[in-house]
Structure 1
Amino acid sequence: MKFVRVFLKVLLGLVVFILLFLAVSLAPVDETPYQQMPYYTHTKERLAQLPAIPAATTPLRAGWAKASITPPYATPTGGYGARRGKQWHIIADSIFARAIVLDNGGTKAALIGLDLLITPPTVVEALKKRLPEVGLRWENIYTGAIHSHNSIGGWAPGIVGQLIAGGYDEKLVVRITDGIINAIRVAQQNMAPVQVGFGQVDASDHIYNRIGFSGPTGPLDGMVHLLKLKKATGESALLCTFSGHATLYEDDMWNYLSRDYPGSLVDRLEKKSADFAVFMAGAVGSTGPQARGKTDFQEIRNYAGDLALRIERTVPQIQTTTDSTLGILTLPLGLREPHPRVIGNWRVRPWLFYAVYGDYPSDLKALRIGQTVLLGTPCDYSGEFVADFKPLAAQKGVNLMITSFDGGYIGYVTPDKYYNRTTYETRDMNWFGPYNGAYFEEMMMGLLKKM
């Protein structure tokens, strides 16, 4: 009997502990409309206070360079799924930081493309300290990533960081940051006047909507967007954005360090279409690649090869013109409390989220180069939103490129009407609650108008 009493007391204590833990760890989803929230008011005020783009005082000049950030030792793999930070041991292709630096006398900006899963928040914080070494600040920087799930990990502390990118290694943060700084420095040394041009080609047949199984969905952004810079010498750089997830390697291929299809594509473009190329993931949220091939390596060659053929036919048709317009804006982004849902309509409280993930500032970015505007987001941003921006871009007479992973990371942003669907993108990876779709659109359109 004594044993039973002890057992019941222990069981009761355990139940009480679990109930207390749940009480302090969980809360119901807050469905207050975002327009009524303080974070919205503060972000809208910051948007209104952003300055106008300074006028050019010189012709637009640009320079470009890349720096290898491939580690000399095996590291965790930066990806999701079954990888779980397992270490790669085979280098399928090298990893780079790429930079295009632009200057028109009134504005200086650097566009940074990283062969990583995302732009790591830890790297952003390091850059904020080190950019003055090359005469820049974070407000001068527009970043993006290829979103390969087989690239370098180890750049994110915390439990969630461990799941996404493996064990944290400060040396990798330093290595990535060094690469960015070095690429900027070299790019600044080869700057010259450039002409600017824009083109695009349809590749909708290469993508599908991953949440389509859960019900009706809208059209995705299936265009490959191209921004061309050309020096008087004929030397050219090409920025390419596309909304296909770089996930052609299956989970069990974690042993390879690779840029996935964007790496193969960039290598091909630098042989036939431009002297220098940068790829950035576009609005990739919930967008999967349509793979064709018997092996992952075949799929990558076929995917990149077909995209390259379409781009190679398009690039000669891009007319470059002299245009010194250049501007960059950074909008610090307020957010609703963290809302990762765990049981029904219950979500973890902020203290627990920040304990396992961390609390990183996030921004929206806008970069105008000539008649093209880039809008950068700190998330996997859904391609279904892109159509909503086209009327405003047409009204303003500009071309539009929307990219993901501009520094900081807040999970997925998908259309609000899908919020209660039980999919990975809309539930597991929606970290900051309802109405983010409308909120992001409003702030991004505000940036577009400012440009």
Structure 2
Amino acid sequence: MTFQAGAAQVDITPPLGTLINGDFITHYARFIHDPLFAKALVLQQGDTRVALVIVDICAMPRDFLDAVKIRIQDETGLLPQNVLIASTHTHAAGSIASLLLGAADLPYRQKLPGLLVESVKMASQNLRPAKIGFGAVDVPEHVVCRRFFMKEGYVAHNPVSGGVDGVKTNPFGDEQQIDRRVVPVDPQVGFLAVKGSDDQWISLLANYSLHYVGDWENGTITADYFGVFSNEIGRLLNAGPAFVGMMSNGTSGEANIWDFLDPDRYPKAHFAKSDLIGKAIAGKVFEALQTIDWQDNPVLSAQYADVETGVRKPSAEELEAATLLVAETHYENIQHLDMDVLRRIYAREQVLLNDYPDINVFPVQAIRIGDGQIGALGGEFFAETGLRLKENRSPYFTITMANGYIGYIPPAHEIERGGYETWRCRTSFLEPGAEEAIRTKLAELLEK
């Protein structure tokens, strides 16, 4: 049986005026710096076909993606459980999900499914005999933990509980009060390289646990460093125009590039930092590609499961207090953040979260390609999760924001410490044991 692969990309750049989420409030697209894409890589071995789709967008909820997968099945025959669709998590793209006060853009949400389906159809039409290779390279200089233990006496307010957190996320203005970072992050870039049997490049899918760079002005449309990497790796490889470079987001829930301990080590101009970082990662991947082993007849398989987890909700007393605060707040007038504004934003979150089901069904997926494996999880996981999944597995990487999005899923001990990623809301609401249950299920699928 001949292994085949095909890749394609479809422009999904939203028009000016489109709503942008990913911040505490809604922004509107005023400037398009670079185009956004849905990028698809389809692999086939015998009767088994798998699609990997990476989309330049902040977040895509499960109900949206489940419907897209049904359309993909209707038009290509690909089984939904064999399709992985993930957001890069750029915070400068069209919005199809309501996150905090960042609203969804309904016209863009209606337009996007057809574009995602088209990317998979085009990639399927481009199938040809191929070979693959996995690799990894450490790039520790561009990813740091954004959660900090602060010096004694520092008060890290929690706008949900009204209490004090044990850690502070992104301590803007309080850099002198930092004691130390909370945890190590994952410095590794894993990648899957795909060439035709004729040695012509088809695609390269990389994975890095760096949240996003965000060196642009609000109102900008950009693929961030994910797009820079994709373009630069194609240039370095001297690949043709049909080549599709792809960068996915790893377990980056508590990681970013805003280095509060060394804030001046990057250029300050808009797009300068994302350009530097994307090109630096591409350069290291290019070097690592020189020594990878190619597999021309890799085994291909996929596993999929749902994990039921409990939901954290406000108590009756918390809900009553939140409702009173919402009733007196003019959310349309919010422009700047302070602790009072955060209390009001998160009060609204409690009211909306109260209507959620008591049980959440979470998608977990594992894909084997030759001697390598890829895990897929539908939320923002901490580096600890990814590093534990990598133990005794190589080649392996985890793609997050895949097949759905419900926000942060921190380990139980990090929820106990507190910090922005743990504040109960519609983007952080699973019970403390959810991370362990989800990670355990993914490990089981990978063993299969």
**TM-score normalised by the shorter chain: which range applies?**
0.7 to 0.9
Corresponding residue number in structure 2 for 1:95: 36
Residue type at the aligned position of 1:333: V
Change (3 A) 1:375 1:162: closer
Determine if contact 1:205/1:290 at 8 Å carries over to the other structure.
no
Counterpart in the other structure of 2:328: none
| 1:437 to 2:402 alignment | no
Match of 1:36 in 2: none
Counterpart residue number, 1:369: 369
> Which amino acid in the other structure matches residue 141 of structure 1?
V
| Within-5 A mapping of 1:222-261 | 222-236=187-201, 237-249=203-215, 253-261=217-225
TM-superposed deviation, 1:278: 1.1
* Residue in 2 that maps onto 1:422: 418
- Quote the residue 2:445 is aligned against: 447
Q: Secondary structure at the match of 1:441?
A: helix
> Which of these residues, 274, 277, 281, is aligned with residue 245 of structure 2?
277
CA deviation after TM superposition for structure 1 residue 233, in Å: 2.3
Structure 1 contact 340–433 (Cα < 8 Å) conserved: no
CA contact (8 A) 2:301 2:368 kept: yes
- Within 5 A, what are the aligned runs for 1:266-345? 266-273=230-237, 274=239, 275-290=243-258, 292-339=266-313
Secondary structure at the residue paired with 1:319?
coil
In the other structure, the counterpart of 1:190 is: 126
After superposition, what is the alpha-carbon deviation per residue over 1:219-251, rounded to whole angstroms, capped at 9, x for unaligned?
Answer: 22110111111112222210010011113236x
Residue 167 of structure 1: CA displacement?
4.0
- Are the counterparts in 2 of residues 362 and 409 from structure 1 also a CA contact under 8 Å? no
Which of 146, 162, 181 aligns to 2:88? It is 146
Contact 2:209 2:252 in 1 (8 A): yes
**Richer in helix (by share):** 1
Match of 1:400 among 396, 419, 438: 396
Counterpart residue number, 1:10: none
Partners in 2 of 1:179 and 1:240 — Cα distance? 22
User: Does the CA-based 8 Å contact 1:325-1:369 persist in structure 2?
Assistant: yes
Deviation at 1:194, TM superposition (A): 1.3
Q: Which range moves more in the overlay, 265-274 or 62-71?
A: 265-274
Asked whether the 8 Å contact 1:116–1:148 carries over to 2, the reply is yes
C-alpha displacement at 1:333, in angstroms? 2.1
Q: Which amino acid aligns with 2:440?
A: E
Cα distance change, pair 116–167 in 1 and its aligned pair in 2 (3 A): closer
What is the aligned partner in structure 2 of residue 262 from structure 1? Answer: 226
Is contact 1:247-1:289 (8 Å) kept? yes
Considering only CA atoms, is the larger Rg found in Structure 1 or Structure 2?
Answer: 1
Aligned partners of 2:354 and 2:406: how far apart in 1?
12
The CA deviation string for residues 10-56 of structure 1, in whole angstroms up to 9 with x for no partner, is xxxxxxxxxxxxxxxxxxxxxxxxxxxxxxxxxxxxxxxxxxxxxxx
1:63 aligns with 2:59: no
1:79-158 equivalences under 5 Å are 79-81=22-24, 84-131=25-72, 132-153=74-95, 155-156=96-97
Unaligned runs of 5+ in 1: 1-57
| TM-score of the aligned structures, taking structure 2 as reference length | 0.78
Identity level (%): 23
For residues 324-380 of structure 1, what are the alpha-carbon distances to aligned partners after superposition, in whole Å with 9 as ceiling and x for unaligned?
311111111211134469969x99999952647999853011111111111111110
Cα shift at 1:297: 1.4
What is the deviation of 1:95?
0.9
DSSP 3-state at the match of 1:102 = strand
Per-residue CA deviation, residues 412-436 of structure 1 (Å, 9 max, x unaligned), is 1222212222300123453112112
Give, in angstroms, the shift of residue 321 of structure 1: 1.9
Residue 142 (structure 2) pairs with residue 206 (structure 1): yes
- CA displacement, residues 135-165 of structure 1 (integer Å, 9 cap, x when unaligned): 1232120122211011111x12xxxx16364
Secondary structure of the residue aligned to 1:335 is strand
* 2: CA distance, partners of 1:86 / 1:134: 36
In structure 2, the CA distance between the partners of 1:203 and 1:162, relative to structure 1 (3 Å rule), is: closer
1:171-190 map, 5 Å: 171-190=107-126
Report Cα offsets for 1:375-426 as digits up to 9, x if no partner: 1111101112223223342xxxx41111111122222122221222230012
Q: Measure the CA separation in 2 of the matches of 1:142 and 1:399.
A: 18
**Aligned length in residues:** 378
Q: Is the 8 A contact 2:39 2:244 kept in 1?
A: no
Whole-angstrom distance in 1 between the partners of 2:359 and 2:440: 24
SS in 2 for 1:310: helix
Alignment partners' CA distance in 2, 1:272 and 1:336:
47
Comparing 204-213 with 88-97, which one deviates more in the overlay?
204-213
Residue 419 of structure 1 aligns to a residue whose secondary structure is helix
What's 2:171 paired with? none
The 3-state SS of whatever aligns with 1:186 is helix
- For 1:37, the equivalent position in structure 2 comes to none
Check conservation: 2:372, 2:396, Cα contact below 8 A: yes
- Shift of the 196–247 alpha-carbon distance from structure 1 to 2, 3 Å rule, reads same
- Residue identity in the other structure for 1:163: L
Secondary structure, in 3 states, of the residue corresponding to 1:219?
coil
Amino acid of the structure 2 residue aligned with 1:286:
E
Cα distance in 1 for residues equivalent to 2:62 and 2:299: 30
Matched position secondary structure for 1:163: coil
Separation (CA, whole Å) in 2 of partners of 1:261 and 1:200: 18
Match of 2:339 in 1: none
